[in-house]
Each structure stands twice: as C-alpha cells, then as structure tokens.
Chain A
C-alpha cells in the first residue's frame, strides 16, 4: 500500500456522498468532489495510461489542465479527457488510452524495448519507400491516444453565448480573486472564470492568511461579495484563446449531460491571473508512475485527503517544495528532500531528512517507482517521488495576444514583457511568489487612470519565497530522461535534433514533436528549449519560445460549431410554393442554394424517364414552371439608365419602357459574370433579372458601382427577389391557357409581343407578365406577391388540365434551354469566357460608351484567334449523349491535346437524339467539322454544330 486516503480532511470532498465508477473494468470508490485522478490515487492505481509512442506505463503527474499522462476515455464519448479535471461521477465508465487490453497489461509494451531503434523522426526516415501511406494505418493504430466512438450520438447542439463586461478576470486564484474584488469595488462589471470546479486556485491548498482570515474564509467571502454585486462567476470554464481585438473564447463545462458552452467575451479589460505550472526535473526514468508534481501532491492531500505515498522523496531546486514536504510529513509520510542547492534553502521542518547539493540520477522500478539513485551513486528507497523543477508562468494567453516575453534569470522563467493594450497580468503568471506580491500585482492590474480602486487585500500569514537554482536537462545525460511525457520526447531526441541541425525552436518542435501533444507542452516546452540552449551554447532567451496559439486546452468541435450543425450549417432557401410542389409529388434538389423541384414524381430509377417525359410534353402543349428564384433587382432613379448601360455589356438605355432585353454583365477582366433579361418598367426604373444562384453577387456588384461611381442620389437599388413569386407558363398553348385564367390584360401578340411586359391583376393583386423565354417556346413569366402566389398557381394547374399541361422541374428546363443553345453561366462558361466567345460581338465592335470590363475585351489575349467558343455538338446516330466534361482532342506529333470540352449534354426527347453544348477552339468557324472526343481514356467522335439545335429560326416563340 502506498497512496491512500486519509481518515480525515479534504476540503473538496464530501464523505457523506460516496461515488463508485469503473476504470479499465475495475471498481473505483471515491467521494463527491473527487476528480477521477484523485479517486484513482486514493485507490492506489499507479498506472493510468500508456505513452503515445513507446507504450511506457504512466501515472498521474499533475492536478490540473497541465496533466500530460492521465488521459482517459469517458463513457466512450470524450476521448483524451484529462483525469485531473474530470469529476468522479457515479456509474461513469473510464478507460485508459493507447493501451490494449488495459493500462496495466498493455500488449504493445514491447515497443519500449525497441525504443533506441525508433528515435525522433524514425518514421519519416524509415517508411519513405515506396510510400508512407502504405505504413501509416498500422503505425497510427499502434501509436496515438484516445479513440472516437463512432456510434456516439450528440445530445444536441452546444450553446454559444456572446458576453460583454468591463473586466474579465481569467483565473480565480489569489491574484484573480483580488483583481475581481478590486475591479468590482471600483464600480466595474466583472466576469471571473476559472478552469477548476472550485475557485481558489493555489489558495485552496497552500498556506495563507489574508486580512487576518484563513484563506478558505477569504475565498468564500470574496466570491459571495462578487455574486451579491451581480458579477458573473464561471467555474469549470477555460479561457482557451485571446483573438484579434481582445475577443476571449471561453469553454464552459457542465458535467450534467449538457454540451459545453462556448462564450465569446468582449471585455473592456482582461486580467490574466492564470498562475504558474510546476515543471518536472530531469533524471533517468523520470516518467515512472509514482512520480508526481510536488504541487499536485499538496493539492491532492489538502483538497482530497489523498496522501501520494508513505516513503516519499521530494526532489527540488526551489523553495516551493518545502511547504509540500512539511505537509506530507504532517500527514504521516517519511520524507527525504533532495535539493540541488547547497545553501539558501528555507528552514527545514522537523523530521525532514535533507540531502543538499544533490540531484536525482535515476528512478528505479518497473510499473511504479521503487527507489531513486542520486548523482553520488547512493540509493534511496521510495514509493513516491514528488518533483518540483520550478515554475513556468502560464503566459499562453498573453503570448496569443502577441505579448512579448521577457526572460527572468531570478525566476528561471519567461515572464510577460512589454504590456499589451487592454491586457494586464497578475499573480504567479507575472512572476509574483508571495501573497503580498500577488496582491500588489493584482492592484496594479486593475489600476486605471481615474479609477477609484479600493485598498488591496493584505497577506497576514507566512509568506512563500521564490528561491530557485535552475536545473535544466543536460546533454549527455545517462539513461532515458523524459522531457515531453505525452509525446515521448527524451533528452536524446533533442540531442538528435541538434545533431541534424534542427536547432531553431520551431524546427525542434516539429522534428521531435516536443510540445505538440494535447497538453501542448505545458510541462515540457521550457525544459526542452533550455536543453537546446545548453546543447548549442546559447542562452534560453536566445532560443526563444514557439508561437503561442489557441486553444490553451482542447476544446470540443461541438463548442465551436454551436447551432451551426445539420441543416443550420448552410440553410437552403425555400420556394414560397414548396408545399404545393410537394403535393404535386415534386422531387427536390438543391440548386445554387435553393431547394427546387428537380422533377415531379418518378423517384430514383424513374427519374430520367420522368425528366424526358416532362421535356417532351413541354414542347407539345404547355408547361408550368416555378421560376421564383430568378433574380428581381430593381434599379430606380434619375441615372438608372446610365447606370444599367455601365453595368451591362449591351446598350440598355435605348430600351423602351415596357420592353425587355437580354444581356451580359461582365467582370472588369471582361469575363462573363452573369446573363439575364433587363426589364424597363418606365423611364427611370429597371428590373435586373439575373441567374438564381447569382442574385446576392449581382446585387453586391450593383451596390458597389452605385456607391462608388454614381452616388446615392442618382440610383437606388432594391432586391425584390424573395418578395415576388414568378410562375412561368411556356409552350404552344401557353396563351390559350392564360386566357382562360383571366389576368386582367390583353395577351394578344400586338399588345404583348415577345420581349415585352404587361401589367394585370389576379385576385386583387397586381401582377407583372414578362414575355421572355428560356425554353424557346412562347412563354409568359407571371410575377406576383410571393404570399399571394398559391391561388394563382392552383388556378394555372387546374386550367392546365384542359390543355394536358405538364409541371416541369429544373432538369427538364435544362434540356429545353440546351436544345435552344441557351447557356447557363458557370456551366457553359468558365473563368475565361468573354462575351464574343459566346457569339455576342456587337457591343464589343460598336459600343462607344463605357461599361464594366470594356478595356479587357481588347487585350492581346481577348483577340486571339484560337479562343474557346460556344458550339453545339452532335454524335453519330444511335450513340449515347457525350459525357459532360469530355474533351475534344487534337493529335500533333502523336500526342493528344485538348481543344475544348463539353459543358452541357442531354438526350433530347423532342429531337430524338443527344444534344450537347461545349467550348471549342475557333468553334464558331468549324460548324460541320467532325472531331475526336476523349473521356476517361475512351475515344469517340462528335460533329461541331451551331449551339441552337431546335427551331433555329425562333418561330415557336410566336407559335
């Protein structure tokens, strides 16, 4: 028996509430208030996990977020959870990571015996041939930590909170509590966060008396006063990152089944009272279970009444371990302190054996420590070694905020350097040791010009001292001296990196993986770079630190995702008539962000036949189509005509009111950006009808030019796309059908010819009818208020029965437009297509006024003779449609070269043959030429034709 629970004491545990859970199948008994780590320790479970690479047995090292070893999977849902921060709960099932079948009897432990053959970078050097990816799955299965349970289902989205306060205090130890108290006293709103379940930090287990009161009383009173003042206190909450402009990310844990909550805090000021983390000492086998941080042992003793051992060796290079030694002696342990220093130590407590001027050479034991040897060769039996290698201030958040660090020889640590706007550092994080220093730094952190800050708390008890003599890992150390426990990096690995010239701290990190594990090197970074300094004959500040980046501790992706999961990740836009389409059996698909009917009825295997049927029947009588997604952006104002002239490639100002014109919008580099019909409602009012998926982009473009070039008084732009539903009636019988519905206007071709608009009414609502056609047939686009569209749609369907009208989805429409050679921007064009490539030469040749993209149409590139031009493609009789993306190829010197590609390809039910559109070199001049086509290695032929395959004379528009 070594580690054990004491009969009395333990400020954090409630002995009246026992909890029982399992670890690697064994029962563990603890109390409410225990962490999994403290309960394991109380049950003398020494081996809690296996190391990442060598499968070394590892025990609990720390008592907080810095824990490198004690990672566990909890209930299959939370892999790589630190046992030191996870509360013990009744019935919880905990499992060690990277161990098969369990931590104590891991079958991959043999790997450790081969360790000298697999040093840092072994994998990179060895598994290069023929391909790393052949080896990777095996290696990943053998190394690595926790496993994700793929059957696990989330309990719902995580909450996210946006929060503002005057002062955000990170860390509720003595410095944080004092800073929060002082800020609150100055009338500021305070938010206090701490990653432990119980605020107090080191005051919860270290000696201290404040304003004449015991530390516990002072903590309680301070928290009560803050709560009474309406200030927010968030325990179990980690400030994991400081982002631009001092946005602070917090991850709050709940331990009641709820997902963690992400807080985005915009404080007026940030006080970092994040404390310091104890470092290990370098000696051979310093990773054996039973070797703990001295500070952690004191925390377990005072907070959980767990004594880490009976025969304890305390190894130290600084004063802080003496308080620990005194406490474990008082708890009944036999204690020998081995101090690297010969003099300058604090007074030794009674019964403490002290070995001066010595260091540990090695630890001895197999699954747990049994003895240690000193550098003079002597041996001390021990069932537990408590180690204090000095303190590393937790300046991660300060570093993330681009704060510069300053090396302190006296503290053997990096401290915050030049101040960062809006951020103050207090307490141990700023290098303070005694409570008096801590409170002074808290006072300074809160101080601001004009602020009435009350008097700081006073330390009235014994004061800690900060004496330290640096004890960094040394090159040439005997045995295996571990630096990074979690990623299995030893002194020899760092030496190897130095030999291979990876001497920069960033190279050292990547080559050895030092500090790259889930603990991010909280205990290992500084010893590692100090060793590199020693090897290369430089100072620690000359080596410098790696870049600090969020997150400070692992944050569940669910926290970052919040409500943006499933459909909420990228919500689709929905048609006002969606329910009517569903009643008609529509099969929906997403097109450019819109959920639209692809076809009506005919699921799965029947889809193609249904689409063909819709396209065929549309040409025979009349088709009904929901075109509500079509852009409807109004351009209004005295300079509206001049504005659309500038925005379009085609001259639009000559358009008469009540008429429409098709045109292109170009980018400034001349590339076709969008196409569509422009409607002129009256002298100063146009409607830009743009591609459904381009509405936002076109609107932004119009706004940019309006604000940048024309001015707000000249033009006004209004995006009315979602306000209006657009119902399209197309086909030879379209007019006849509409005449039976009664739309309050004459549909005679003389009154409403092709490319004209008319105004009518339906059911008391104004309607606008545009005679434009994307099918090549006589078409009427009827626009009506979106929320009044349903009765009209129902009426059209009912009236359509007499004409054998067909509902068509987007797939059939795609066939109809391709038969006519009508393009879809971004499908039949790419990022190089200029308007004249599509056969639209006129404006380029004739326009004298300025328009977007104009100059780019006259560059050398734009005038090349071998540009890709829009063509139609036909295939030999009886052959299947060309695959979209197939290349037209040329042979020269026995080599194949692409001369263009297929952009759209369909079976045309009306023509009874495949049709295709494509972009081909000099295509416009090559109609009739047969070329070779290649797709995925298969060759066939196709004949270049005009893009329009059906009714080239356009007679059906007025049929």
Chain B
C-alpha cells in the first residue's frame, strides 16, 4: 500500500485518498467554448508513463492538493497545497 504525503496531515495510507484528475486541466468557461476544447477538458487524459502531476484529495481532512509521482515506480516526488491549480 502506497504512502501519500498529505500536505496538511503528513504521510497516510493511499486508501485515505481519492484521485481528482490531472493537474493543470484548466476548465474553459462559457457556453460557447469550442466543442473540442470542452471535450479535451472533460475526457482526454495524458496518462503518462513516468512523472505525473495529479490532483488528489485526502478524504480524512478534505483537502485537495497536487501530488507529483512516478506512475511506473510509484515513487512520490512531491506534494503541495492546491494554490490555484485546477482539478
């Protein structure tokens, strides 16, 4: 079981967390956003092999945060408060 570092609570078991999507997937506002742009936002994910920047939420404290991790080795590279990142 992986240990995720919640920026607020410290290292916790992965079962306490939910995945919140790619980091940096900014929401395009407006009723007239080009449909491709909207579809990208809704459905297209990069799913990288290697370093990934992701939004996670620690269910126990309820805080969303950004975590950088390696999807191949499962090494955690960093975790930080949201600070304007978009889920």
Contact = CB atoms under 8 A, between A and B. Distances in A.
A244 B20 contact: no
A245 B74 contact: yes
Interface string B17-42: 01010000001111101010010011
A627 B51 CA distance: 48
Contacts of B41: 668
Contacts of B18: 700
Interface string A100-115: 0000000000000000
Contacts of A930: none
B10 interface: no
Contact of A854 (B20, B31, B87): B31
Interface stretch (A177-185, A701-709, A793-801): A701-709
Contact of A855 (B38, B74, B82, B86): B38
B21 to A, nearest CB: 10
A244 B31 contact: no
B52 interface: no
A402 B72 CA distance: 11
> For the side of the interface on B, what is the size category?
20 to 34
Contacts of B82: 707-708
A704 B73 CA distance: 28
A892 interface: no
Chain B interface, >50% SS class: loop
Nearest to B81: A707
Nearest to A669: B42
Contact of B1 (A245, A668, A854): A245
Given A704-B20, A856-B38, A244 B85 contact: no
Interface string B63-87: 1100000000110000000100111
A859 B35 contact: yes
B44 interface: no
Contacts of A858: 31
Contacts of B1: 243-245, 247, 264
B64 A856 contact: no
B35 A704 contact: no
Contacts of A264: 1
A668 B38 CA distance: 10
B48 interface: no
Contacts, number: 53
A700 B57 contact: yes
> For the side of the interface on A, what is the size category?
20 to 34
Given A703-B62, A850-B29, A855-B30, A244 B42 contact: no
A264 B3 CA distance: 13
Contacts of A402: 73
A704 B64 contact: yes
Interface in A233-249: 243-245, 247
Contacts of B87: 704, 708
Interface in A680-730: 700, 703-704, 707-709
Contacts of A247: 1, 3
Contacts of B63: 707
Interface in A854-906: 854-856, 858-859
A648 to B, nearest CB: 16
A708 B42 contact: no
Contact of A668 (B14, B42, B57, B74): B42
B25 to A, nearest CB: 10
Contacts of B42: 668-669, 856
A858 B33 CA distance: 10
A244 B33 CA distance: 41
Nearest to B28: A855
B6 to A, nearest CB: 13
B42 to A, nearest CB: 6
Given A245-B74, A854-B31, A855-B38, A707 B64 contact: yes
Contacts of B30: 850, 854-855
B51 to A, nearest CB: 17
B49 to A, nearest CB: 15
15 contacts: A245-B74, A264-B1, A668-B41, A700-B18, A704-B87, A707-B64, A708-B64, A708-B87, A848-B31, A854-B31, A855-B30, A855-B33, A855-B35, A856-B42, A858-B31
Interface of B: 1-3, 14, 18, 20, 27-31, 33, 35, 38, 41-42, 55, 57, 62-64, 73-74, 82, 85-87
Closest 3 CB pairs of A and B: A244-B2, A707-B64, A855-B38
Given A245-B74, A707-B82, A848-B31, 9 more contacts: A243-B1, A244-B1, A244-B2, A245-B1, A247-B1, A264-B1, A707-B63, A708-B55, A856-B38
